[in-house]
Amino acid sequence: MKASVSQQYLAHGLSVVSRAVSPRNTLPVLANVLVATDEGRLRLSATNLELGISCWIGAQVAEDGAVTVPARTFTDLISTLPTDTVILSLNTKTQTLTVRCGASVTDIKGIDAQEFPPVPVPDLASGIDINVSDFKEMIQQVAFAASTDEARPVLQGVSMIVSNDEATLAATDGFRISVRKATLSNPIKSNMSAIIPARALTELARIATDGEQTVSMVLPPGRGQVIFHLKEAELVSQLIDGNFPDYKVIVPRSLKTHTILTTASLLKACKQAEIIAREGNNVIRLNIQPGDDKPGEVEISAISEETGSSEIKVDASVDGPGLVIAFNVRFLREVLDVIKTPNVALETNANNTPAMIRPVGNDDFTHVIMPMHLG
């Protein structure tokens, strides 16, 4: 292999794939990144067997070839090189990659590319095309609600159901449920459903930078995998096997009190209350007060025996009976962080039943949050 490539392109490509490198592994090759020529471009790939990321970068290829080199060593080296042309050449007998840039020459010992796990090639004709910017927003509004508890692997995933021309993502950790729908530009012929690890979707949102392009999602039959193909990158993830909980039975069908607040003011109040609440058990109380003759308000309070107390009042439009209800402030802040509309609706029934949070003017996103016990 002999190829010339821009240091900036190479550094960017390594930043894209390096998150899939396995830090703890039994196979030494999994700590490596695959560097291979591919139809006049350079392909970088990394995998931990559950998640794999590939990236293609422009290069001048004089001689084809492939090798795997330690990801950390290679990434750290490239990041310190000047913004100049990097020349990569491989000695196939010793599996040593020579990296030349400016006045610097570095030899890195590698492992034969044949030992690297094979990267699946997707059949893009069977893929579902989704606009990148829409899909990124869907992921951001749902993936944060997935569980991080390894004892419940199904809840570490995001349920994706595609039916006709509608895609639905849903995630829950048992305390909250986030559901986001979107309309596809091209209806699909047969319905599909899968549970995709939340981490894989978060990584996809990170590497999908061009909002104008589309991402093709392919589910190869019988493989238990999903492949997301972008113009210059590809992400492969194992699917989670199991039955996703029927979250629809938890979503309240009727709600007594409808409270509308500005998203920014409620988010700011939550951030202020969290400074006190985080020293205790993250509990904040919302005292929802209808205004009758004057505008209503929501009083947000937090108490910590060690730190002190906090009380913030936020103007609101309240329709229905008043209520005092408690929430985990982090859960409330995290959902408000992903709501893009100026106003947000908080809909409640009682202090011990699930509440609903929705962006005002957008019916595609629904978030259900369980209240905490009013001690």
Beta-sheet strand order (sheet of 51-58):
111-112, 66-70, 32-38, 41-47, 51-58, 233-238, 225-229, 214-218, 128-131
Q: What is the pLDDT of residue 371?
A: 96
pLDDT reading at 170 higher than 80: yes
Question: Mind listing the domains of the chain with CATH numbers?
Answer: 2-115 (3.10.150.10), 129-247 (3.10.150.10), 253-369 (3.10.150.10)
Q: What is the pLDDT of residue 211?
A: 63
Average pLDDT of the residues in 220-233: 91
In this prediction, residue 125 carries a pLDDT of: 80
Q: Does residue 103 register a pLDDT over 70?
A: yes
Higher pLDDT, 211 or 209: 209
Other beta carbons within 10 Å of 131: 16
Instruction: Quote the tokens at residue 17.
Output: 């794939």
Average pLDDT of span 343-372: 96
pLDDT at 23 over 80: no
pLDDT at 24 (0 to 100)? 77
pLDDT at residue 240 is higher than 80: yes
> pTM of this prediction?
0.92
The answer, yes or no, to whether residue 293 has pLDDT greater than 80, is: no
Q: How confident is the model at residue 165 (pLDDT cuts 50, 70, 90)?
A: confident
In which order are the strands placed within the sheet that holds 104-109? 60-63, 2-6, 85-91, 96-101, 104-109
**How many angstroms separate the CA atoms of 94 and 197, rounded?**
38
Mean pLDDT to the nearest integer, 299-327: 94
8, exposed or middle or buried, with CB in 10 Å at 0-12, 13-18, 19+? middle
Mean pLDDT of the chain: 93
Does residue 280 have a pLDDT over 80? no
- Confidence class of residue 221 from pLDDT cuts 50, 70 and 90? confident
- Segment 278-290 shows an average pLDDT of 92
* pLDDT tens readout for residues 72-90: 999 999 999 999 999 999 9
Question: Is a pLDDT exceeding 70 seen at residue 126?
Answer: yes
* φ, ψ of residue 317 in degrees (nearest 5): -100, 115
